[in-house]
Structure 1
Amino acid sequence: MNRYSLNQATTKHWPLEDVVAASAKANLDWIGLWREPVQEYGVEKAARLVAESGLRVSSLCRGGFFTAATADERAAAIADNRRALEEAAALGTDTLVLVSGGLPEGSRDLEGARAMVRDGLAELAPYAGELGVRLAIEPLHPMFCSDRCVVSSLGGALDIAEQFPASQVGVVVDAYHVWWDADVLRQIARAGSRICSYQVCDWIVPLPSDVLLGRGMMGDGSIDLRALRTACEDAGYTGPIEVEIFNAELWAQPGQEVFDTALARYREHVA
């Protein structure tokens, strides 16, 4: 249980102070944070809050979105990612999760979009190394390829990550996005020391109309979360395991109720 980390997105409408307090009360070691609520609260203030509670930040979500139609938009994305790296360092985490971005508006050039991701990483990786924060490429399920993430498999993420030092660029193994892949266990083994995070939730059926909010509580769906956890451990990953669930029905429930359920389900289906 010392690896458990509740990603802040799971209790989206619960104030940061409450998430931190509940995690500390439960004697947890970790918490996962999101940029927007942290920025609203204040990065330095959030860093103090977490540190004084005795917690550590497992990751900061999210950077990325490198793909854009114009050079100015791509430059703005690089600048924002530099700020995200600085925020991650200030919060004391070594992991900035990246969602790479989908196809630029009006484009069908998938390889060109993936080249933009590589180019963005090339600009940021040295700075990430200076700050001691790894750029963690998160592949998303192929249904998000057009609008959110042109990196659609763990193998594809590794093809990009391996062009950079492992101390600067790694990958996220998010069960929701990779469980379907017949090659996922081999790719997890290949990832080895590049694994920056293992994230868990469940794949429920039927999916809601808004598939972005289709993640389920562990145990409510189809994913063998413990098998993926074991594969990550066999590859050498023993770091935090984040519960990250986007689900409007969960977000409408009291934060403490979701917190307690997530912790219980993690014990039952992941630990």
Structure 2
Amino acid sequence: MNRFSLNQATTKYWPIPELVAGCVDAGVTQVGLWREETRDYGVEKTAALVREAGLAVTSLCRGGFFHTPDWYDENRRAIDEAATLGAPVLVLVSGGLPPGSRDLDAARARVTESIGALVPYALAAGVRLAIEPLHPMFCSDRCVVASLGQALDLAAPHPVEAVGVVVDTYHVWWDDQVWAQIERAGRERRIACFQVADWVTPLPEGVLLGRGLPGEGCVELRRFREAVDATGFTGPIEVEVFHADVWARPGREVLDATLAGYRTHVL
């Protein structure tokens, strides 16, 4: 349980002070944070609150979206925020195709070029950039990186200490190459963040919100944890769930259910 981290997205509407107090009360020592919520509350104020509570921040979501005009300045701000919060990892969602474009190869090339432009700044800040592949259904508008293998290829030109990848079960569980790619990620020392969520069907309207708590869907979560462990990765295991029904429940109730599912289906 000392590796468990509650990603803030799982309890999206739980105010930050209540989230921090709830984690402390439940014996949870780690949290993954999101930029929107921490900026609304105040980045420095959030940093002080989690630090005083003895919580470690495992990641900050998110940077990326390299197809937008202000991507460079926005990602530098995200790196600064991660450093302020004490987050060692900034998760990057690459963004989709530029408006009017159908050139997927060019969009992916832009991702690695953009990351390369950010590497010196990230290194100076002590923040590791983590490329997250998303399920292919998000390729056009949200993330042109659609598999763990693609993420590793994009990370390869950059220093290991500066750029890694995210293994998120929700997005990669379908891939018949994922086990070999997890082994490769470990061999290349690229695993920067490990996130778990289940895949529930039927998907709700708006497939982005189709994640379930551990044990509610069809993903072999323990097999993923064992595969990631086998690479030598000993870092945090974040539970990150997007679902309107989950968000509608009280935060502490969701945290308790998350912990129960984690113990039963991930450990």
Range of TM-score over shorter length: over 0.9
Indicate whether 1:164 and 2:164 are aligned.
no
Residue ranges of structure 2 left out of the alignment (5+ in a row): none
**Pairing 1:125-140 to 2, within 5 Å after superposition:** 125-140=119-134
In 1, Cα distance between equivalents of 2:223 and 2:54: 30
- Aligned pair partner of 1:105 in 93, 96, 99: 99
The one-letter code matched in structure 2 to 1:5 is S
- Offset of residue 235 of structure 1: 1.0
Report the counterpart of residue 238 of structure 2 in structure 1: 242
1:233 to partner: Cα distance: 1.0
Aligned to 1:84: 78
Provide the residue aligned with 1:199 in structure 2: 195
Q: Deviations over 1:14-60 (max 9, x none)?
A: 10111111111122221010001101111111001000111000000
Say whether 1:56 aligns with 2:56: yes
Give, in whole Å, the separation in 2 of the partners of 1:130 and 1:233: 29
Aligned partner of 1:257 in structure 2 is 253
CA RMSD, 1 decimal: 0.8
Q: 2:221 aligns with which of 220, 225, 237?
A: 225
Structure 2 counterparts to residues 37-56 of structure 1, below 5 A: 37-56=37-56
Q: 2:211 aligns with which of 211, 215, 227?
A: 215
In 2, the alpha carbon distance for the partners of 1:184 and 1:19 equals 33
CA distance in 2, matches of 1:55, 1:237: 21
Indicate the SS of the match to 1:139: coil
Q: Deviations over 1:112-171 (max 9, x none)?
A: 111111111011011111111110000000000001000000000000001100000000
CA distance in 1, matches of 2:160, 2:127: 11
Structure 1: how far apart are the matches of 2:179 and 2:126?
A: 28
Instruction: Give the partner amino acid of 1:238.
Output: T
2:28 is matched with which residue?
A: 28
Residues in 2 aligned to 1:227 and 1:247: alpha-carbon distance in whole angstroms: 23
For 2:26 and 2:249, the matched residues in 1 are separated by: 19
- The percentage of counterpart residues that share the same residue type is 61
Moved over 4 A (4+): none
Aligned position for 2:168 = 174
**Paired residue secondary structure (1:48):** helix
Q: Give the secondary-structure state (helix, strand or coil) at the position aligned to 2:5.
A: strand
Q: TM-score, normalised by structure 1?
A: 0.96
Q: In the alignment, which residue of structure 2 is the partner of 1:6?
A: 6
Partner SS state of residue 180, structure 1: coil
Residue 205 of structure 1: CA displacement?
1.1
User: How many pairs does the alignment contain?
Assistant: 265
2:57 match: secondary structure: strand
Shift of 1:176: 0.2
1:144 aligns with 2:141: no
**1:254 positional shift:** 1.1
Which segments of 5 or more consecutive residues in structure 1 lack a partner in the other structure?
Answer: none
Cα deviation 1:187-246 (Å, max 9, x = unaligned): 011111210111011011111121000001111111011111111111121101001000
Letter in 1 for 2:52: E
